[in-house]
Structure 1
Amino acid sequence: MTPKELVLALFTAAFVEHDPEAAGQLVTPDYIQHNPQVPTGAEGLLGLIPLVEQSGMTVTTHRVITEGDLVVLHNTYENADAFGASSLAAFDVFRVKDGKVAEHWDNLQPIPDTTVSGRGMTDGATEITDLDQSQANKELVLGFVRDVLAGAAPENVANYMDPEVYMQHNPMIDDGLDGLMAAVEAFAAQGQAITKFEPQFAVAEGNFVFVATDAIMGGQPWAFFDLWRVEDGKIVEHWDVVSPIPEEMAHENGKF
């Protein structure tokens, strides 16, 4: 199986069919877990499956982005109260090694009833195109993260996006560059200024680029999982799932 096929098979076995035996055949015994609440190792994942089944939780996968040994799923979880809220937006990231799933990262965020832009957290474009532009698009997005979001050279923003064309799925931010900058200023005024924004890894497939970032916001550690869509050499659409990083975790692997 390809990495994508392997990850989707594991995800189906664990979260749709609730089959620990089938899931166990697809993961390494020393499966590395980065979800703060789930113990590391294959047993941690397999022990979660009965809880998922009992809770009645369901999952919808909206996008699958693959590069090399990394596979990103953009998901919605419903009936997920046992995991923090009735509806959760999520990015699940898996690393494949030697025909098994070896590592998992994720971010979960409650889905609000309304958003500033009027867009949902997971709707929008889904088609993967421009496969020959994967590397160029990754470099474009990482430049945007470095210069604009991390503040190295915000004056270069027009190199990365048309200020008027930026479809926003973050529930608290409006469309366009003006919406993004207004939100940054509002967060800072509320004591939530971002003082660190360091990408840890990125996954690009065609017109979609995912970046996982270690951040400090309001003096506290946060994880930002962002997905951008690129069209004709410019960033045009953005989704994210943002979550605080707890001090205590069920393992010693850290969030990243």
Structure 2
Amino acid sequence: MTPKEIVLSAVAALFTKFDPEAAGQLLKEDYIQHNPAVPTGAAPILGFLPILKDHRLSVTNHRVLSEGDLVVLHSTYDNAQAFGGQTMVAFDVFRVQDGKLAEHWDNLQAAVPASQTASGNSMTDGATEIRDLDKTAENRALVEAFVKDVLLGAAPQKITDYISTMTYTQHNPMVGNGLDGLGAALKAMAEAGQAMAYTKTHLIVAEGNFVFTASEGKLGDTSTAFYDLFRVEGDKIVEHWDTISAIPAEMVHANGKF
């Protein structure tokens, strides 16, 4: 199986079938966990399955992309009180090794209905089809440069070199569509003492027209994880999804958030 097929099979065993035997065959025993609230290793997550089944957890996968040994899932979890809320939007990143899941990173945020977002878009709707596989490297380089210049602040004035001035569909619930919507949201956040600052990007995964990044930084004074997914079309970023979550000072393992 491909890394993508392995991950989808493992996630189905874990969160649809709640089958510890099937899931255990797809998890390395020394599975490295980066979710701050879940102990590392395969045994803790397998032992957690009866609780998830009792809560009637369900998962909907919206987007799946992979590069090398890394696979990214963009999903919604319902009945997800064990994960922090009734409905949670998540990015899960898995590293596959020797046909099994070897490492996991994630970032979850409470879902906001489209009727309550600044753009009128939900946190998960929009384009899903992976296209332009021949442009994967080019699109990855574009987003890497955007991260360096704009998100990390090397040359923020170059934002229009990366984001389309014609079409920029936004799925962050606090941000309106277009560059004007982004600018207005960033200004409002700064004025409210919640300025957003990226300091380091740890993971980049690209497949065709989609590029995912996992970064850390500050939201106001709070250490924060920023997981972003960008869609590229015509050599410009035209759509954006994200989840934002505080990084706790204490975790149940020593692996860190990243």
User: What aligned pairs does 1:1-150 form with structure 2 within 5 A after superposition?
Assistant: 1-113=1-113, 114-150=116-152
Moved over 2 A (4+): 194-197
User: What aligned pairs does 1:173-212 form with structure 2 within 5 A after superposition?
Assistant: 173-212=175-214
Q: Is 1:226 paired with 2:247?
A: no
For residue 213 of structure 1, the aligned residue among 208, 212, 215 is 215
CA contact (8 A) 2:130 2:207 kept: yes
Displacement after TM superposition at 1:167 (Å):
0.2
* Alpha-carbon distance in structure 2 between the residues aligned to 1:182 and 1:150: 19
Report the count of equivalent residues. 256
CA contact (8 A) 2:34 2:40 kept: yes
* Alpha-carbon distance in structure 2 between the residues aligned to 1:32 and 1:188: 36
1:105 alignment partner, SS class: strand
2:112 alignment partner, SS class: coil
1:43 alignment partner, SS class: helix
CA contact (8 A) 1:163 1:178 kept: no
Displacement after TM superposition at 1:118 (Å):
0.2
* Alpha-carbon distance in structure 2 between the residues aligned to 1:118 and 1:137: 27
For residue 154 of structure 1, the aligned residue among 152, 156, 172 is 156
* Alpha-carbon distance in structure 1 between the residues aligned to 2:182 and 2:148: 15
One-letter code of the match for 1:180? L
* Alpha-carbon distance in structure 2 between the residues aligned to 1:92 and 1:196: 20
Aligned CA RMSD, in angstroms, stands at: 1.0
CA contact (8 A) 1:4 1:71 kept: yes
When the two structures are superposed, what TM-score results if normalisation uses the length of structure 2?
0.97
When the two structures are superposed, what TM-score results if normalisation uses the length of structure 1?
0.97
Where do 5+ consecutive residues of structure 1 fail to align? none
Where do 5+ consecutive residues of structure 2 fail to align? none
Could you report, residue by residue, the CA deviation over 1:159-207 in whole angstroms, capped at 9, with x for unpaired residues?
A: 1122231100000000111111111111111111134431101000000
